[in-house]
Amino acid sequence: MRQRWEPSTAVTLVAATLLLLVVGYVDYVTGTEVRVFPLYFLPVAAVALRLGRAAGLGAALVCAVTWLGANFPAAASAPAVSAVNTLVMLVAFSVIALLTAAQRSWLERERNLSRTDSLTGLRNTRGFYELAANEIARATRYRRPLTLAYVDLDNFKDVNDRHGHARGDEVLVAAARTLSRASRSSDVVGRLGGDEFAVLLPETGAAAGEAAVLKLQALLRHALERHGWSVTASIGVVSFETPPPDVEALVHAADALMYEVKAAGKNALRCAVAPSPAARHAPTSSGAPRVWSARKG
């Protein structure tokens, strides 16, 4: 998934300043005969949309001062009228800034909601994939390892069938909270659908990844047993010393290991190290992860 490019604060300010200078010059050249003041809304809106309310109000003040400077010859002859007009312009520009900043907040809220699982509060598939793509790019740039744990809750369907979906939701929320609390702030935790979760550990190799997921496994087992639920977890863990080409490859490798755990009897953890790119493309290599640790829950 391609990362969306967004202009930096410096780029936004420079672009808005250049636009304001152009508008101010046009206003000065045309004089009071032609009303071009709505053009000042453009730099105000641009700054408020990109940088927020405070920056937008600052841009409104700068635009009001620029408008006064562009119309100074006419303003000098009637200072009282000029002061009132400048105040009116400041109010108009400020309103534009506030409305645009409110739109920005709404867009950010909607964007976050579209990437968040409504039940657990974790990243949904879309949100997880976006953050995971960023981590893969970072790991590739700095040549750092990363590890992914794919968690599937065993016997979850039985809980839904016997006790209803409300109890099933309680199980999912408890599992999500446990995974979040057991993870570092730099880790990416997501619900990828149904009773399946993923935990991405950036800058984490095989040994450290196994230790972290073993702790996670113990905490998850304790949380589920404490409520008396007959639910366990099958976990597949893949460590990449060389990052995979995309998130699909990352998730697929851990998901395949998780299904091996399911086939072997569930309630276990299986760790593997993904082969290097050279090994994956070698004619004699299967390209499958090398399993190096398997533990029961």
Q: Which of 134, 125, 117, 95 lies closest to 175 in space, CA to CA?
A: 117
Q: Looking at 27, 187, 195, 255, which residue is catalytic?
A: 195
Q: Is 195 noted as a catalytic residue in this protein?
A: yes
Catalytic residue numbers read 195
